[in-house]
Amino acid sequence: MSAPTLLLLAPGDSRPATLRSADEFLCAMRSERPDLDIRLAHASNCLPSVAQTVNRIVRSGAEEVIVVGLDMLDQQGRVDNAASVAHRISDQHPHLKVIAARDFGPEPALLNVVDAKLRSALARAQVTELDGLVLAAPTAGDARAQAKLSRCARQWGHHHRLPVVVSCAEGNGGVNAASAVRSLRSEGRRHIAVGSWFLTADALWQSERDSALAAGAVAVASPLGAAEESVRVILSRYAFAAMDLLDASTDEASPTADDDFTESRPRHLSVVSA
């Protein structure tokens, strides 16, 4: 029996930067796992659409499909999230076995990518001193995701010996990136940088970037993108969803779920006294 098809679901955003990010993920995934049938579909009206991609999957003779959304945190109830799309595919193609992979969730290992992206942003802005950080996420997620995101923020702040405020662009009454920057500035901090807990440069990230800079942030990191760590997270989610399709036990921990932020690899950001 062949492995299930991996369907990457890009967010519903037609901006060129978002489309490029989705294509980069597809190329990176195919390079990492050339043995898998990996397809891309867009939740928006961009091509290829979900319907087009699924029709091609059906014509290829595949019997199982795992949908993995290119979102850092699944937004429950959204019509274009992985679970909703998987449900619609099942309704339209009853002969297919379709399952949505678990959302990314905050993975501490991805903090290494956040650091790398932030250092690039700081270099472009010619910033050498920091006294505050914001970890900007698209949404707060559920209680479990909120707890893990807070843990990641504490690890990040402890590593750099800087205060960190978590921002959430949407939902749950959380502060957005601009509010988080203003909060740190109200404490007398003036060199504040924003790390991005976004996967792709979608409209939401671009809005958060612009508002954070307008609020006084000295630099905003680009999204994580198709980094090696991001690809590993996608593959781990795919692998465990495939286990679900086989009705196998999923009690074992995800290969990346307990990865710690690798403190030996990144260098400390240059800071000024609090």
Tens digit of pLDDT for each residue in 122-144?
Answer: 999 999 999 999 999 988 777 77
Place of tokens 């959304």: 69
Positive or negative: CA dihedral 253, 257, 260, 265? positive
**Token representation of residue 227:** 């980094």
**Token representation of residue 130:** 């920091």
DSSP letter at 219?
E
Residue 202's pLDDT band (cuts 50, 70, 90): confident
Instruction: Give pLDDT, residue 273.
Output: 34
Asked if residue 106 has a cis previous peptide bond (ω within 30° of 0), the answer is no
Residue 236: name the closest of 83, 65, 67, 102 by CA: 102
What pTM was estimated for this model as a whole?
A: 0.79
Per-residue model confidence as pLDDT tens digits over 160-195: 999 999 999 886 566 899 999 999 999 999 999 999
3-state helix, strand and coil shares in percent for the chain, rounded to the nearest 5: 40, 15, 40
Share of the chain above pLDDT 90, in %: 60
In the chain, the amino acid numbered 193 is A
Mode of pairing for the β-strands spanning 132-139 and 192-196: parallel
